[in-house]
Amino acid sequence: MDSVKTLLMGVAAAVAIAAVTSTIAVAAHEGHGGESDKKAEAKEVACAQCGMPVAKSPAAVRATIGDAEDKVSEVSFDSLACWFRYASKLEKGYEVQAVEMLDYTTYGEKKASWIPLHKAFFVKAKKLKFTMPPYVAAFASKDKASAFAKENETEVLSFTEMEKYVKEKIGLKKGKEAGGMEGHHH
C-alpha cells in the first residue's frame, strides 16, 4: 500500500509540475507538429524523478501517462536514467502513452524539437551538463548523430541499444528499481 500511496503522491506532484507554464512545457506542445501560442514564463519544471530543473538539460525527456480513470499527465525528466527509473515503478492501471526526448541540436533554442524515443538516433557522450549519467543525447537526424558520435569517439545507437545501455548503467533489471541517485551532476 505504501508504494501505491507513494506513486499516487508522485503522480499528483507530477500533475502539479506539469500544470506550471515553462519553456519546456511550451516546447513540449510545439513538438506535436503545431505552433504554440502560449507565452513562456520564467518558472522551472522539475524532474519528476530527481527534482533537477528540466529546462537546463540537453537530454530532457517527457512522457504522457494515463491512468485507469482516463486522466492524462505529462511528466518531465532531466535524463533517460531518471525516465527509466520512474517508468520501472509505475503501478498497474497506469499506461505510458508517449515518450519523447529533446533533439540535442535544438538544446537552448526557443523552439525546441522533441523526438519520439523509438524514432531517435542516440549517442553516448563523455559528459553532458545538467543531466544524469549515463550521458546520452538524442537526434532526429542520423547525419547529425553520426557527427556528434565522431566528436565523442563513440557510435550511434538504436532505441533498443540505448535502452539496454542505460538500464545496464543504472542497474535496472526486469522492471526493478535501480539503486540511489549517485553520480548526479548539476
Q: What is the dihedral of CA 151, 153, 158, 163, to 10 degrees?
A: -110
Q: How many domains does the chain have?
A: 1
**Contact yes or no for 157/26 (Cβ under 8 A):** no
pLDDT for residue 129: 85
Residue 178 counted as domain residue: no
Choice between 64 and 31, residue whose per-residue pLDDT is larger: 64
Min mean pLDDT across 19-28, 98-107, 124-133, 173-182 is at: 19-28
Residue 113 counted as domain residue: yes
For the stretch 64-84, pLDDT in tens is: 999 878 888 999 999 999 999
Residue 181 counted as domain residue: no
The whole-angstrom distance between residue 70's C-alpha and the CA centroid of its chain comes to 22
pLDDT for residue 67: 86
pLDDT for residue 148: 95
Nearest alpha carbon to residue 156 among 134, 141, 171: 141
**Contact yes or no for 53/45 (Cβ under 8 A):** yes
Q: What is the dihedral of CA 28, 63, 59, 106, to 10 degrees?
A: -20
Q: What is the mean pLDDT of residues 147-176?
A: 88
Residue 184 counted as domain residue: no
Phi, psi of 2 (to 5 degrees): -60, -40
Is the pLDDT at 169 greater than 80, yes or no? yes
Residue 180 counted as domain residue: no
The CA-atom distances, in angstroms, between 160 and each of 65, 102, 113, 164 are 21, 18, 22, 6
Q: What is the mean pLDDT of residues 123-139?
A: 91
pLDDT for residue 43: 56
Is the pLDDT at 37 greater than 80, yes or no? no
Residue 85 belongs to what domain range? 2-170
Q: Could you tell me the pLDDT band of residue 132, with boundaries at 50, 70 and 90?
A: confident
Q: What is the mean pLDDT of residues 25-38?
A: 36
CA distance 93 to 36: 31
Q: What is the mean pLDDT of residues 18-45?
A: 40
Q: What is the mean pLDDT of residues 30-45?
A: 44
Preceding peptide of 58 cis, ω within 30°: no
Residue 176 counted as domain residue: no
Q: What is the mean pLDDT of residues 29-51?
A: 57
**Contact yes or no for 25/55 (Cβ under 8 A):** no
Q: What is the mean pLDDT of residues 52-75?
A: 91
- Burial label for 13, CB within 10 Å (0-12, 13-18, 19+), is middle
Residue 182 counted as domain residue: no
